Amino acid sequence: MPNTKKAKNRADRKDTLKKVLQRIKPYWPLVTLSILAALVTVAATLYVPVLIGNAVDRILEPGKVDFTAIWRILTQIGVVVLITAFFQWVMNISNNRITYHVVRDMRQEAFDKIEILPLKFIDAHSYGEIVSRVIADVDIFADGLLMGFTQLFTGLITIAGTLVIMLTVNVTITLVVVCITPLSLFVASFIAKRTFSMFKVQSETRGEQTAFIDEMIGNQKVVQAFGQEEKVEERFCEINDRLQECSLQAVFYSSLVNPSTRFVNSVVYAGVGLAGALAAIGGTLSVGQLTCLLSYATQYTKPFNEISGVVTELQNALACANRIFELIEEEPQIPDAPDAVHDLQADGSVELEHVYFSYVPDRKLIEDFNLEVKPGQRIAIVGPTGCGKTTIINLLMRFYDVNKGTIAVNDTDIRHMTRHNLRENYGMVLQETWLKAGTIRDNITMGKPGATDEEVLEAAKATHAHSFIKRLPQGYDTFIAEDGGSLSQGQKQLLCITRVMLCKPPMLILDEATSSIDTRTELHIQNAFARLMEGRTSFIVAHRLSTIQEADKILVMRDGNIMEQGNHEELLQANGFYAELYNSQFAI
Amino acid sequence: MRKLLIYLKDYTKESILAPLFKMLEAILELFVPLVVAYMIDWGIGYENKTLVMQLVLALVGLAAVGLICSITAQYFAAKAAVGFATNLRQALFHHIQNLSFTEMDTAGTSTLITRMTSDMNQVQSGVNMTLRLFLRSPFIVFGAMIMAFTVDVKAAMIFVVTIPVLFVVVFAIILISIPLYKKVQASLDAVLGATRENLTGARVIRAFNKEEEEQENFRAKNDVLTRIQKFVGKFSGLMNPVTYIIINGATVILIWTGALRVESGALTQGAVVALVNYMAQILVELIKFANLVVTMTKALACANRIESVFEIEPTKVLTRQQTAAAAKDTAAKMAEQNEHAPVVEFRDVCLTYKNAGAESLTNLNFRVNRGQTVGIIGGTGSGKSSLVNLIPRFYRATKGQVLLEGVDIDDYPLDTLRDMVGVVLQKAILFKGTIRENLQWGRENATDEELMEALTIAQAKEFVDKKEEGLDAFVDQGGKNLSGGQKQRLTIARAVIKKPEILILDDSASALDFATDARLRRAIRDMEDAPTVFIVSQRAATVQFADLILVLDDGCIAGSGTHEELMASCEVYREIYNSQIHAAKGVAAHA
């Protein structure tokens, strides 16, 4: 069992690696340049010690110093060094470019995916977790990738290069080196295998902590209102302590790789020294050659050292890449059919036929729901809190797809329309106001980017948002922070209504749209809405009976089911659940 | 960065020992060229095989001791760095917890989150690397120089010149990159902000068909980040080539000088090899150092960002632990005034938000007696929420005084104050955990009966009962698995369970239907030791039966009194009332 799991892990990693390589592919010219530069750099770097060795061999003892030869060698060193430095820089820059471009692409891919993921996924995951994938994981991956590029390539080339040169100098000593060095790889992989799981625990704990931070700092006001700072800190402390523990393990054990492999290298160095010195005594090797071999031994073993370091880093990076790919490969919403209707101008007729829907398969919600809406009708959805009113909106806007049955606009099944086309026919104001970071104007013109200043002003006046906007420091160009910043809930709602007011779509969805607006302002807005709703189909989720009683049709919901349908008078006469609700308004 | 170093205090021992052991290792390494030179001059020169053997054993011995030193150093460094980050994270979290609403508004959530996470990780690895290498590298560099002196003073002068040049170059690159890395993190903030925004606003973005535009926006932000990252890369990429040139230039001069010295008989060949080896060691060390510098500059930039959060001073120093003396004083005052003082009194209270042009509240004056219900009604942005936010001191009045039981609320320790006041905010926020855990925020050791009682009052019992797991039913982050009304009722229950002296409902029944709303108000009024209640609402029906109704208009009190009084005297109130009740009654009569 553990074996198959290990094999699966390895397959996973291979798979991830393949995906990473796919994303590097578009940058192959840069990769080629980087490899070429690495080749030149390594070759030149390796050539320098040879030259130095040659020079040292020309310095024997007083009277036996060949100055002209030394001068010639030294100028050669100078030239080679300059070439090396240049190509090193080229290599560094190419690696940087490749890494940051690949990472940018992946981040974009992840973000693009967020835009087409079914809402089901977004509703089911904590924001902090998704954000951590797009930000933190991508970051760590970038670090790993960069390190991989700079050190893996040059490392491998260096190993090959030194081997060749050492062989030309002395075969036996080279064999000594080649035989001992793999020891360091063995040691490194031994340690890496044991640290991989520690890294995993670390990144999981980190994820947990990020989610906690996101939740608590995001809702700090509530934390403070309940004086829970200490409690929250305690919980944070608990996670933090756990993180400390597993981080310490991961950091310490992974940092053992370097000293251990360095020790192996020192042994190699000593081995070369021994064999070299004995050969020199035997007269088969010059002192200059020995110096040269010694320095190559260091150069040869160093990359093993680095590569082993890179391997741990890369493992960590791959683990992160895997989390990003998971997001990128998440099943997107069903794409629009190629022949889907994309230019439907809704006249406002909506028909729901035998609609079945539930969020969780084993918990039934909406069953066999039928509704026919004629153009221009006003449909009010009422019911006690939590009866599933927003579910209807999710279905109408196709945030969620029905499980069975059909929803049709203009007799066209909404699944046969593009989402774009469907949604542009609706104007939606939700109970939970959402504004993006940007100016007031940006927010208002969301639905109609090309709107002129006059149109914006007209819409804002119609909703009475104008009076508060004009009092803001920069009026319509006032920048508001994420989630509306310091605007009051009501002001935010006014902006959301203005946003819809500007587009004048044929159908409206108003979810508790005016719950945070005072009734005086609301009255004004109602007038504006009334004008807007004229000839337009509208779905209104509201609790205020005054808003509801003018509706053409009232859907009374309870526990996700439609209990009653009809207009105000009909429903009162039926003396059912609606009548009960209505009468309770005055029972105080 | 300097201010952050105090969090390393607990790990002083480790942070001294780690570099110390690294240095020990470095000293051992510095002996290696000497041993090799000795081997060349004496072992090979005199063909002494036993000496060669002994010297090789010495090399292995040096390596072994070096390994032990190094592992010890790594352990201490890891312990200090991880411990430091843990302490720092805790301290930062604590600090953020103590920021008041005003500072939270200005700082912004997403940047605080990056600072707690990504910046923090960078700092941790920075400290770790620094402890491991920062002392070691200069030490090896200087050590190599000193060793060079022992070999030959004249040749060593080349080291004396080379090293300062190297340091200048290295530090110049560091100094240029730090501000650039700061920019990188700032662009990262923007990317994070966009991601968060698109998750929280997924519905609206899709409703307005903005997906593609948002992708474009993100692309722009992402590109800015990439561009600045590449720019920084160009600079830090200079480090290796430049140091490489300097060192090898020095080596060339070294060999030439060495040649001259050997010719004059002042040096042996082995000594020249040793000198060249020392130069090579400096190079190897500097390459490591260059990598370290990248990590370090990043870490420094991140540390600065963390520090800037610490620099946001909580407005009120007298936060949670007020001095004992002051607390006593307050207690005495409270006892003295308690009896006859109104529960809440506003005296000429004004509030101007930070960075706001105009006052949001102007000269508010009113008194509320124990057990009264106060209704607050008024236009959007008229200051209703601002008013109630002053009572638990979420914001502080910029002028005037807010008194609680006769004592200025500024004199209360925050803990005491917030214990006395239960607040239900406009936005219903719940936390990941069970319903029970969420409610226990109000009171930690509340029994199940008490919890159920609170749920009954908040009209939430019915739907909680319906859940299979009851109180142990799980609430997702942000209460995403509950409807708006369910969330609101749970937040009300959470405040009620506190049995506060003052209960503030800031338009928190907006998602409730009228029937539930009415039942809720009645239940609160019938509570044992019924609290003084502030109800902010849009609905005239909700505040109609309050003992005192405050009508706000543009930050001023436009009228106060009972329903009847206001109907008689207050134009604004009449308008609001008629617009709502009349319409509804008319239809009722009609039916």
Give me Rg for the CA atoms of chain A.
Answer: 35
Position A585 scores a pLDDT of: 52
Position A87 scores a pLDDT of: 93
pLDDT bin (cut points 50, 70, 90) of residue A26 is: very high
Whether residue A225 and residue B382 make contact (CB cut-off 8 A), yes or no, is no
Find the largest Cα–Cα distance for chain B: 124
Nearest alpha-carbon partner for B85 in A243, A316, A199? A243
Does the structure show a pLDDT above 60 at A386? Answer: no
Does the structure show a pLDDT above 90 at B413? Answer: no
> Measured between CB atoms, which of A61, A259, A446 is closest to B210?
A446
Does the structure show a pLDDT above 70 at A143? Answer: yes
Give the span between the Cα atoms of B466 and A353, in whole angstroms. Answer: 29
CATH number of A213's domain: 1.20.1560.10
Position A519 scores a pLDDT of: 60
Position A33 scores a pLDDT of: 92
Give the span between the Cα atoms of B533 and B502, in whole angstroms. Answer: 6
Q: B29-54: per-residue pLDDT in tens?
A: 888 878 888 888 888 878 888 888 89
Residues A355 and A316 in one domain: no
Looking at per-residue pLDDT, the higher value among A83 and B359 belongs to: A83
All structural domains of chain B with their residue ranges: 2-310, 324-427+502-590
Whether residue B206 and residue A399 make contact (CB cut-off 8 A), yes or no, is yes
Most confident of A533-547, B105-119, B518-532: B518-532
Write the ipTM.
0.76
Does the structure show a pLDDT above 90 at A284? Answer: no
Report the run of H or E that residue A379 belongs to, with start and end: strand A378-382
Q: A230-239: per-residue pLDDT in tens?
A: 888 888 999 9
Burial-class residue B264 by CB neighbours within 10 Å (0-12, 13-18, 19+).
exposed
Does the structure show a pLDDT above 90 at A215? Answer: no
pLDDT bin (cut points 50, 70, 90) of residue A583 is: low
Does the structure show a pLDDT above 60 at A354? Answer: yes
Of all residues in chain A, the percent with pLDDT exceeding 90 is 10
Give the span between the Cα atoms of B416 and B397, in whole angstroms. Answer: 19
pLDDT bin (cut points 50, 70, 90) of residue A72 is: very high
CB B315 within 8 A of CB B102: yes
Residues A255 and A292 in one domain: yes
Nearest alpha-carbon partner for A262 in A312, A307, A301, A310? A301
Position A78 scores a pLDDT of: 92
Does the structure show a pLDDT above 80 at B539? Answer: no
Report if residue A41 sits inside a domain: no
Structural domain count, chain A: 2
What's the whole-number mean pLDDT along residues A290-310? 75
A chain contacts of residue B550, beta-carbon cutoff 8 Å: none
What's the whole-number mean pLDDT along residues A485-504? 80
CB A208 within 8 A of CB A239: yes
Looking at per-residue pLDDT, the higher value among B590 and A154 belongs to: A154
CATH number of A528's domain: 3.40.50.300
Does the structure show a pLDDT above 50 at B587? Answer: no
A chain contacts of residue B241, beta-carbon cutoff 8 Å: 84-86, 88-89, 92
Whether residue B93 and residue A233 make contact (CB cut-off 8 A), yes or no, is yes
Residues A282 and A356 in one domain: no
Report if residue A30 sits inside a domain: no
Query: Which of A286, A316, A436 to probe by mutation at the B interface, max B CB count within 10 Å?
Result: A436
Looking at per-residue pLDDT, the higher value among B341 and B459 belongs to: B459
Burial-class residue B158 by CB neighbours within 10 Å (0-12, 13-18, 19+).
buried
pLDDT bin (cut points 50, 70, 90) of residue B333 is: low
Min Cα distance A15 → chain B (Å) is 26
**B175: which residues sit within 8 A by CB, 6+ positions away?**
none
Whether residue B418 and residue A92 make contact (CB cut-off 8 A), yes or no, is no
Position B196 scores a pLDDT of: 82
Buried b (16+ CB within 10 A) or exposed e, B376-405: bbbbbbbbbbbbbbbbbbbbbbeebebbbb
Report if residue A171 sits inside a domain: yes
Residues A204 and A278 in one domain: yes
Residues A268 and A413 in one domain: no
Q: Which CATH architecture has domain B2-310?
A: Up-down Bundle (1.20)
CB A425 within 8 A of CB A474: no
Report the run of H or E that residue B400 belongs to, with start and end: strand B399-404
Give me Rg for the CA atoms of chain B.
Answer: 36
Does the structure show a pLDDT above 80 at A531? Answer: no
What the block records as the tokens of A58 is: 């020309």
Position B318 scores a pLDDT of: 46
Position B357 scores a pLDDT of: 58
Report if residue A555 sits inside a domain: yes
Give the span between the Cα atoms of B508 and B537, in whole angstroms. Answer: 8
Handedness of CA A573, A576, A577, A579 (dihedral sign): positive
Report if residue A544 sits inside a domain: yes
Q: A446-483: per-residue pLDDT in tens?
A: 878 888 889 899 888 888 888 888 888 888 888 887 66
Report if residue A206 sits inside a domain: yes
> Measured between CB atoms, which of B83, B223, B512 is closest to A385?
B512
Does the structure show a pLDDT above 90 at B351? Answer: no
**Which A residues in the span 568-587 are in contact with B, Cβ-Cβ below 8 Å?**
568-569, 572, 580-582, 584-587
Residues A506 and A396 in one domain: yes
Whether residue B82 and residue A247 make contact (CB cut-off 8 A), yes or no, is yes
Q: Where are the alpha helices (DSSP H) in B355-501?
A: 384-390, 414-420, 435-439, 448-457, 461-466, 484-496
Residues A192 and A277 in one domain: yes
Looking at per-residue pLDDT, the higher value among A418 and B508 belongs to: A418
Position B82 scores a pLDDT of: 92
Buried b (16+ CB within 10 A) or exposed e, A147-169: bbbbbbbbbebbbebbbebbeeb
Residues A487 and A369 in one domain: yes
Report how far apart, in Å, the C-alpha atoms of B16 and of each of B10, B12, B29, B130, B136 are: 12, 6, 20, 12, 12
> Measured between CB atoms, which of A123, A431, A582 is closest to B480?
A123
What the block records as the tokens of A413 is: 């099944």
Report if residue A518 sits inside a domain: yes
Residue range of the domain that includes A434: 350-584
Chain A, chain B: beta-carbon pairs less than 8 Å apart: 512
Residues A153 and A294 in one domain: yes
Give the span between the Cα atoms of B58 and A169, in whole angstroms. Answer: 26
What the block records as the tokens of A161 is: 């290069």
- What does pLDDT average to over chain A? 82
Does the structure show a pLDDT above 90 at A530? Answer: no
Q: B278-311: per-residue pLDDT in tens?
A: 888 787 777 777 777 777 877 888 888 888 888 8
Superfamily holding B324-427+502-590:
P-loop containing nucleotide triphosphate hydrolases (3.40.50.300)
Position B323 scores a pLDDT of: 52
What's the whole-number mean pLDDT along residues B363-390? 85
Whether residue B36 and residue A485 make contact (CB cut-off 8 A), yes or no, is no
CB B363 within 8 A of CB B346: no
Does the structure show a pLDDT above 90 at A83? Answer: yes
Residues A370 and A315 in one domain: no
Give residue A461's identity as a one-letter amino acid code.
K
Nearest alpha-carbon partner for A223 in B441, B93, B319, B495? B441
Report how far apart, in Å, the C-alpha atoms of A220 and of each of B58, B142, B394 are: 62, 51, 11
Chain A residue with Cα closest to B226: A100
Residues A356 and A294 in one domain: no
What the block records as the tokens of B228 is: 């600045």
- What does pLDDT average to over chain B? 82
CB A465 within 8 A of CB A502: no
pLDDT bin (cut points 50, 70, 90) of residue A406 is: very high
Residues A237 and A315 in one domain: yes
> Measured between CB atoms, which of B74, B108, B476 is closest to A259?
B74
pLDDT bin (cut points 50, 70, 90) of residue B545 is: confident
Give the span between the Cα atoms of A276 and A297, in whole angstroms. Answer: 11
In the DSSP assignment, the letter for residue B378 is E
Does the structure show a pLDDT above 50 at A111? Answer: yes
Q: Cβ atoms within 10 A of the Cβ of B216, count?
A: 11
Min Cα distance A27 → chain B (Å) is 15
Position B332 scores a pLDDT of: 60
CB A381 within 8 A of CB A510: no
pLDDT bin (cut points 50, 70, 90) of residue B334 is: low
B chain contacts of residue A241, beta-carbon cutoff 8 Å: 86
> Measured between CB atoms, which of B59, B118, B418 is closest to A139?
B118
What's the whole-number mean pLDDT along residues B442-458? 87
Report if residue A112 sits inside a domain: yes
Residue A557 pairs in a beta bridge with: A562
Whether residue B52 and residue A277 make contact (CB cut-off 8 A), yes or no, is yes
B chain contacts of residue A92, beta-carbon cutoff 8 Å: 233, 237-238, 240-241
Q: B59-102: per-residue pLDDT in tens?
A: 999 999 999 999 999 899 999 999 999 999 999 888 888 887 77
